[in-house]
């Protein structure tokens, strides 16, 4: 059983347009609505691949009810903590050539009592000793930037491995505090918390080792079209394949993380599957979830201890 926490879930609305023209009326050629938010996306992928999961989320308003309904339709078990504010809508505009423009709303303002109720719901799940807890996405207004520090502490107390995919100050705080089993940033998110650009593999590995030295176990660093790096205290692996023309990159990172969680075996094999999951996600519209037949690990190359002098963009 894998428990996910999405503190700021969303209804993800994707509109397809031929070419986005700013300041003009654009007509969409297709539209999709998916239950969204990073932890929820992880749970959706897990369910699609037959793994047991529970998604913990705050839910308020008619859109919150709709979100829970959409999760139910997809067979995702949810613990919805009632909150007064409305669940947000995030908008994605996908152009014919694959360029994706995303507008994410800030989300509702949670009271201190609502935040406590959300953490209590997570603790209730941790008492059942799941295989892992994954917390992912941004924080809603009113949630303290230290929320994931608190959640990591709880996971540690129950001996449950803890994966984290977030950004900015909440990521920086959790990393500095330690106790995260797997940190899943993309290159921009990692660069932001270490305060320098990541140009080469060496830059990325140094930044990931800084995260590990702060008391965290491993870093799964996704690099968009350039694949992903897995960095542990002693080893580094890179995995990737030929660049793809994306249909929608939304949810690719979440799908990558889910693929890593689903894969058994050695770190290199897990990374290979994770990247295969991410690649499958970009070929689907909106945040549609790839199924088992969409995953092609054989198209993904793995390199142990990649050359530190290589530019990330050359991978």
Kindly list the residues in this chain that would bind ligand FBP in the complex (CB under 6 A). 8, 10, 12, 36-38, 41, 90, 104, 137-138, 250-254, 287
Is residue 110 classed as helix, strand or coil in its secondary structure?
coil
Per-residue contact flags (x/-) with ligand ADP for residues 209 to 248, judged by CB under 6 A: -------------xxxx-xx--------------xx-x--
Q: Select the residue whose beta carbon is closest to ligand ADP and give its number.
A: 253
Distance CA 204, CA 187 (A): 8
From the list ligand FBP, ligand ADP, none, which binds 38 (C-beta under 5 to 8 Å, kind-based)?
Answer: ligand FBP
CB of 180 to ligand FBP, least distance (A): 17
CB of 155 to ligand FBP, least distance (A): 20
From the list 87-95, 139-147, 174-182, 278-286, the region that binds ligand ADP by CB under 6 A is 278-286
Cβ proximity to ligand FBP: between 10 and 272 the closer is 10
| Residue 314 CB neighbours (<10 A) | 10
**Residue with structure tokens 């001996």?**
159
The single-letter DSSP state of residue 6 is -
245-264 residues in contact with ligand ADP (CB under 6 A) are 246, 249, 252-253, 256
- State the sign of the Cα–Cα–Cα–Cα dihedral 226, 253, 283, 263: positive
Residue 186 binding ligand ADP, by CB under 6 A: yes
Residue 282 binding ligand ADP, by CB under 6 A: yes
Residue 267 binding ligand ADP, by CB under 6 A: no
- DSSP bridge pairs for 32: 14
**Active site residue ranges:** 254
From the list ligand FBP, ligand ADP, none, which binds 90 (C-beta under 5 to 8 Å, kind-based)?
Answer: ligand FBP
Specify the long-range contacts of residues 290-294, CB closer than 8 Å, at least 24 apart.
290/45, 290/48, 290/255, 291/48, 291/49, 292/48, 292/49
From the list ligand FBP, ligand ADP, none, which binds 228 (C-beta under 5 to 8 Å, kind-based)?
Answer: ligand ADP
Cβ proximity to ligand FBP: between 187 and 254 the closer is 254
Residue 279 binding ligand ADP, by CB under 6 A: yes
Distance CA 90, CA 12 (A): 5
CB of 108 to ligand FBP, least distance (A): 13
**Residue with structure tokens 């139910």?**
72
CB of 50 to ligand FBP, least distance (A): 21
- Residues contacting residue 17 through CB under 8 Å, at least 6 positions apart: 26, 27, 28, 29, 93, 94, 95, 96
Give me the phi and psi of 220, to 5 degrees please: -105, 105
CB of 225 to ligand FBP, least distance (A): 14
State both tokens at 192.
């932001």
- DSSP bridge pairs for 55: 4, 78
**3 near 133, Cβ under 8 Å?**
yes
What is the binding site for ligand ADP (CB under 6 A)? 186, 222-225, 227-228, 243-244, 246, 249, 252-253, 256, 275, 278-279, 282
């Amino acid at each position: 059983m894998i428990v996910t926490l999405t503190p700021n879930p969303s209804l993800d609305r994707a509109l397809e347009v031929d070419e986005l023209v700013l300041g003009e009326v654009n007509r969409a050629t297709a539209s999709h609505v998916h239950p969204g938010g990073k932890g929820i996306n992880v749970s959706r992928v897990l369910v699609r691949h037959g793994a047991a999961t529970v998604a913990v989320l705050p839910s308020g308003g008619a859109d919150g009810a709709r979100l829970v309904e959409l999760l139910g339709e997809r067979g995702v078990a949810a613990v919805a903590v009632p909150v007064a504010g409305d669940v947000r809508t995030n908008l994605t505009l996908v152009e014919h050539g694959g360029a994706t423009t995303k507008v994410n709303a800030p989300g509702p303002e949670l009271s201190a009592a609502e935040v406590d109720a959300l953490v209590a719901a997570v603790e209730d799940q941790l008492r059942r000793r799941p295989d892992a807890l994954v917390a992912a996405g941004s924080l809603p207004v009113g949630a303290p930037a230290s929320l994931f520090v608190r959640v990591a502490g709880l996971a540690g107390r129950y001996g449950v491995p803890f994966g984290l995919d977030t950004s900015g100050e909440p990521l920086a705080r959790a990393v500095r505090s330690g106790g995260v089993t797997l940190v899943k940033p993309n290159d921009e998110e990692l660069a932001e918390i270490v305060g320098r650009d990541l140009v080469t593999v060496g830059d990325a590995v140094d930044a990931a080792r800084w995260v590990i030295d702060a008391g965290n176990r491993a870093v799964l660093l996704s690099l968009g079209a350039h694949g992903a790096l897995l960095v542990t205290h002693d080893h580094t692996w890179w995995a990737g394949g030929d660049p793809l023309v994306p249909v929608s990159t939304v949810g690719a990172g979440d799908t990558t993380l889910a693929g890593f969680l689903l894969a058994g075996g050695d770190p290199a094999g897990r990374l290979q599957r994770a990247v295969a999951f991410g690649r499958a996600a970009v070929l689907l519209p909106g945040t549609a979830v790839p199924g088992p037949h969409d995953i092609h690990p054989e198209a993904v190359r793995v390199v142990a201890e990649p050359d530190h002098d290589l530019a990330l963009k050359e991978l």
